[in-house]
Structure 1
Amino acid sequence: MNKRIAIVGTGPTGIYSFQQLLTKGEPLEVTLFEKGDRAGIGMPYSPETASKSMLANIASIEIPPVVTTYLDWLEDQPVTRLQSYGLDPEDLDDRQFTPRLLLGEYYRDQLLSLVAAAETAGHRIVIRETTEIVDIAPGPGGLRLHIADGQVEGPFDRVILATGHDFPDEDEATRTYFPSPWSGLIEARIPAVSVGIMGTSLSSIDAAMAVANQHGRFRRKGDELRFDHNGTDLKITLMSRSGILPEADFYCPIPYEPLTVMTDAAVASCVAQAQPLDAIFDLLRAEIMQADPAFALRIGLGGLDADSFAPAYFAAREAADPFRWARSNLHEVEHNKANRITVGWRYALLRMHEKVEDIVPELSDADRERFDAGLKKVFVDNYAAVPSESIRRLLALRDAGILSVLALGDNYDLARNGSQTAIRTGDAAHVFEVFIDARGQKPLSSKDLPFPTLRGALLAAGQDIPEVAGDYSLIGPDDFAGRVFLGSIPYLMHDRPFVQGITACADIAEAIANGVATGRRRRLVS
């Protein structure tokens, strides 16, 4: 008898879950539900939320293949298609950052290829596009999915929730206020006025590009990039508490080399110690000292602890002009990429963040607060480095007199006054005619789930945050335990603060497929 599976959401998590299920050797009936009109693309990679100027923050070498690798798929595309995205077919390589829209097309093509292969193998596959699931409820024979148009689908033996990122609804946006860069900004006409963007990450940079491209264009001359504008009065301000810009993506060996000090066994031993956060920092300090003694000496790492490391790490950048630092950092990373030079401390931090994440659920409330205020910021800064081209664009906007960066500090007031947004820092007031909140995904809880029956059952069971097993199946309540698999990243971020990106989607999907195949309920982090 075929196992009946529903996958809600067809972005990367949904696609990788489908891919992994097909490897288990079981006869399957899989229905994939997609809220949008084209399955397989995923919200961050769709024309509704991205433009051709917005780059994906991942290269082919890091993207887990679905049917083919991303680079192989790119090399098979017509020249005209690549050129329409600003790519030269002769320059394609596996460390290249490409437009997000093109990555979305890759995933759609891969999904359709998976479906064709699955049907050839005898599985029954259905894709339901423009189909919004509004509830999940138990019923005779399994779980049933309620659709916005009143239909009910099912029963299903297992339901995989792969709904991806969840941002404020577009209905909350106005012509002058956008609660996220994905709340209608791409289609909005932004006048040449003062524009404030909260955040300095890649999402904030994308928001700045969406606005700037309406008032000019980037032009390249040799290695130089400039922004030619239309005599505009446009002024864009990126802002954050620290006022620093992200650094550019750096070269390192992939797949990752094993760590020397922070091994799995060493990390596991930290949990049993009286002060696990301080124990993990001892490992971090030893790893960096071994990987990059000069950096360790420069910031005085030997005298730092879990609380003082972050201030020391950011001190030089916070004291520098953000654009001068960005220009210097860009020169450094481009030199290192050209010469395949690995910076020891950067690579060590990149490999350690996933190890450290494993002990986060074991931290006390006090240590979790310390972690969020310190080490978490360092790790996020390291792994959220942005494509070099994004830094070049920021510098071009700065050189054109359009872009500035504002450090807000820890105490500031934000108020919306009619169509304007005002931010006060100390004695200074900053007023913006258009305001975009681009601070990224926030962790969500059970009360945010858009499925009333499931939401009510979790809350009634006292699960303010959904509890999941190692295979991401729900642990209780009984009607859903072991039958609903929660692969939606916003609901996993409380205890997995770094669970972002395509590689995380693939890892989650593998665990889910194993759980669906075995039916085990292994308690893990919640």
Structure 2
Amino acid sequence: MTKRIAIIGTGPTGIYTLQQLLKIGEPLAVILFEKGEKAGYGMPYSPETASRSMLANIASIEIPPLVEPYLDWMEGQPQDRLRGYGLDPDDLDERQFTPRLLLGEYFRDQLMLMVDRGRAAGHRIDILESTEVLDIVPGPGGLRVKASGAGNDAEFDRVILATGHDFPDEDGDVTYFPSPWSGLIKTEIPAATVGIMGTSLSSIDAAMAVAIQHGRFRRKGDELLFETGATGLHVTLMSRTGILPEADFYCPIPYEPLAVMTDAAVAACARADRPLDALFDLFRAEIMGADPAFALRIGLGGLDADSFAQAYFADRKTADPFRWARKNLDEVEYNKTHRITVPWRYAILRMHEKVEDMVADLPDQDRERFEKGLKKVFVDNYAAVPSKSIRRLLALRDAGVLSVLALGEDYELIREPDRTVIRTADRQHVFDVFIDARGQKALGSADLTFPTLRDALLAEGLDIPEVAEDYSLLAPDAFRGRVTLASIPYLMHDRPFVQGITACADIAEAIARGIATRRRRRLVS
């Protein structure tokens, strides 16, 4: 029998899911639902939410290939198309960070190619654009998907929620934006005092979206300059610590195996009386073996799971953020040129995936300790940003239009009709325009936009949906094994690092494995 599947959302998760489903070998009837006008882009890579100045935080070599690898696709594009995105067609590289909008073009092209090939192989595949799914309702013949337009009331054996990032829908006004995705790109921002909450790549992108309305970046020799004739423009990035992200560093890809933190060692930690402390013992031993000089410099032998983060960030907290950024940029650029790997950075990068495997099983007290300490270290490490983004920050700083503010742990945000006020322990900061760019928050059952599914979860007392290894819901009964929750915001409670394109591809593989396993069981029985 042909398996009827709905995929709600056509960003990276939905696209990789379709790719993996087509490998199973089972006849499929798939409908992909896309709320936007064009399928395949995904919210961070869409013309509605990104500008040409915004860079994807992933290099070509790291992007799991679809019909063809990203670099191969770029090399096949018209040269004028690449130049329009600021890329030199003769200088493409597998470790290059490209504009988000170009990556979105890749995803859409690959989706259309997969659909054509899937149809040629005998599958029924349809894409419904400008179609919003309103509800998912159990029925006698499967799950009924109620949607606006042509997709209304279709029935499916399985519904896969691949809705991706979820930020406030409302557009901001000229004085306040609840996220960088709430109309900022299309709004004319005045040359005024602009406050941006956050210092990650999303915050940097928000700063760029404002800056390029009032000036331009220009190369002068090896330097990047920002030129503006605007008076009154000043942008402030702010966070509790005031620390800027570091630049992406060179390392071998695919990752080399860890020496100490193996799967078996991590599994043993989960059975220990104090699992987080046992895990940190592995973490410390891995770094000591990989980079003894760093371990000695940071005093690693005397640190524990609670004190390591403080030691890790200590020097950056006391340094001028732009001086640190310039020094770090010089280091990583030299290392990239000479293919030098900093062992301690590479060790932490590889360990974050191992650590995530047991975070959900940590006791509550250990989970709280992890959130306050080691999690911040891992996020800082894997969320390093493109060198070009750091160069742009430095150019804005040199032009006198950018500063960084450390708020401390105790501050108050007050939104007023025509301004936003931040009160810290020692002073008050007033902004004519304010952008909240703190990134995706973990979501729960109450945030689901499908009322029947949401109410059923809440009626079971499930404030956070519970999923199996293949991301299918474990409850309630009417949806168990029939709805797959592949939307990243709803997975972040137990998987704190489940961000980015590689995570989307990993989720898709797990979904397909689950469906294939069920198929084999049916055939055997």
Q: Which residue is 1:87 aligned to?
A: 87
Contact 2:24 2:516 survives alignment (8 Å): yes
Q: Matched residue of 1:358: which SS?
A: helix
Q: Which residue is 2:221 aligned to?
A: 222
Contact 1:482 1:519 survives alignment (8 Å): no
Q: CA deviation at 1:231?
A: 3.6
C-alpha spacing 1:351/1:151, structure 2 compared with 1 (3 Å):
closer
Query: 1:240-319 counterparts in 2 under 5 A?
Result: 240-319=239-318
1:454 paired to 2:453:
yes
Query: 1:4-19 counterparts in 2 under 5 A?
Result: 4-19=4-19
Contact 1:515 1:521 survives alignment (8 Å): no
**How far apart, in 2, do the equivalents of 1:108 and 1:461 lie?**
38
Contact 2:200 2:245 survives alignment (8 Å): yes
Q: Which residue is 1:340 aligned to?
A: 339
Q: CA deviation at 1:440?
A: 0.1
**How far apart, in 2, do the equivalents of 1:77 and 1:151 lie?**
34
**How far apart, in 1, do the equivalents of 2:364 and 2:520 lie?**
27
> Percent of aligned pairs with the same residue?
76
Q: Which residue is 1:162 aligned to?
A: 162
Deviations 1:35-76 (A, max 9, x none): 111111101000110000000000110000000000000000
Contact 2:128 2:151 survives alignment (8 Å): no
Q: Matched residue of 2:435: which SS?
A: strand
The aligned amino acid for 1:82 is: L
Q: CA deviation at 1:338?
A: 0.1
Q: CA deviation at 1:177?
A: 0.3
Query: 1:68-467 counterparts in 2 under 5 A?
Result: 68-149=68-149, 152-171=152-171, 173-467=172-466
Q: Which residue is 1:519 aligned to?
A: 518
C-alpha spacing 1:89/1:481, structure 2 compared with 1 (3 Å):
same
Q: Matched residue of 2:186: which SS?
A: coil
Deviations 1:95-142 (A, max 9, x none): 000000000000000000000100110111111000000100011210
* Matched pairs, number: 521
**How far apart, in 2, do the equivalents of 1:373 and 1:334 lie?**
31
Q: Matched residue of 1:311: which SS?
A: helix
Contact 1:6 1:160 survives alignment (8 Å): yes
Q: CA deviation at 1:153?
A: 3.2
Q: CA deviation at 1:149?
A: 4.7
Stretches of structure 2 that go unaligned for 5 or more consecutive residues are none
The aligned amino acid for 2:329 is: L
**How far apart, in 2, do the equivalents of 1:204 and 1:112 lie?**
32
The aligned amino acid for 2:10 is: T
Deviations 1:4-33 (A, max 9, x none): 010000000000000000001001101010
Q: Which residue is 2:509 aligned to?
A: 510
Q: CA deviation at 1:169?
A: 1.6
Contact 1:56 1:103 survives alignment (8 Å): yes
Q: CA deviation at 1:521?
A: 13
**How far apart, in 2, do the equivalents of 1:99 and 1:499 lie?**
22
1:29 paired to 2:38:
no
Contact 2:5 2:31 survives alignment (8 Å): yes
Question: TM-score, normalized by length of structure 2?
Answer: 0.98
Deviations 1:302-333 (A, max 9, x none): 00000000000000000100000000000000
Contact 1:469 1:521 survives alignment (8 Å): no
Contact 1:34 1:132 survives alignment (8 Å): yes
Contact 1:197 1:207 survives alignment (8 Å): yes
**How far apart, in 1, do the equivalents of 2:214 and 2:343 lie?**
41
Q: CA deviation at 1:170?
A: 2.2
**How far apart, in 1, do the equivalents of 2:511 and 2:403 lie?**
44
**How far apart, in 1, do the equivalents of 2:231 and 2:199 lie?**
23
Question: TM-score, normalized by length of structure 1?
Answer: 0.98
Contact 2:131 2:151 survives alignment (8 Å): no
1:64 paired to 2:78:
no
Contact 1:140 1:155 survives alignment (8 Å): no
The aligned amino acid for 1:401 is: G
Deviations 1:211-259 (A, max 9, x none): 0000000001222100000142100000000001000000000000000
Deviations 1:258-307 (A, max 9, x none): 00000000000001111000000000000000111111111100000000
Deviations 1:423-475 (A, max 9, x none): 11112110000000000000000000000000011111111100000000000
Query: 1:43-54 counterparts in 2 under 5 A?
Result: 43-54=43-54
Contact 2:179 2:437 survives alignment (8 Å): yes
Q: Matched residue of 2:295: which SS?
A: helix
Q: Matched residue of 2:127: which SS?
A: strand
Contact 1:473 1:521 survives alignment (8 Å): no
Q: CA deviation at 1:417?
A: 2.0
Stretches of structure 1 that go unaligned for 5 or more consecutive residues are none
Q: Matched residue of 1:415: which SS?
A: strand
Contact 1:215 1:232 survives alignment (8 Å): no
Q: CA deviation at 1:362?
A: 1.2
Q: CA deviation at 1:361?
A: 1.0
Q: Which residue is 1:481 aligned to?
A: 480
Per mean C-alpha deviation after superposition, the further-off stretch among 222-231 and 399-408 is 222-231
Runs of 4+ in 1 over 6 A off after TM superposition: none
The aligned amino acid for 2:308 is: F
Q: Matched residue of 1:519: which SS?
A: helix
Deviations 1:139-177 (A, max 9, x none): 121001111359623210011100000001224x22200
Q: Matched residue of 2:93: which SS?
A: coil
**How far apart, in 2, do the equivalents of 1:128 and 1:484 lie?**
19
Q: Matched residue of 1:260: which SS?
A: coil
Contact 1:136 1:145 survives alignment (8 Å): yes
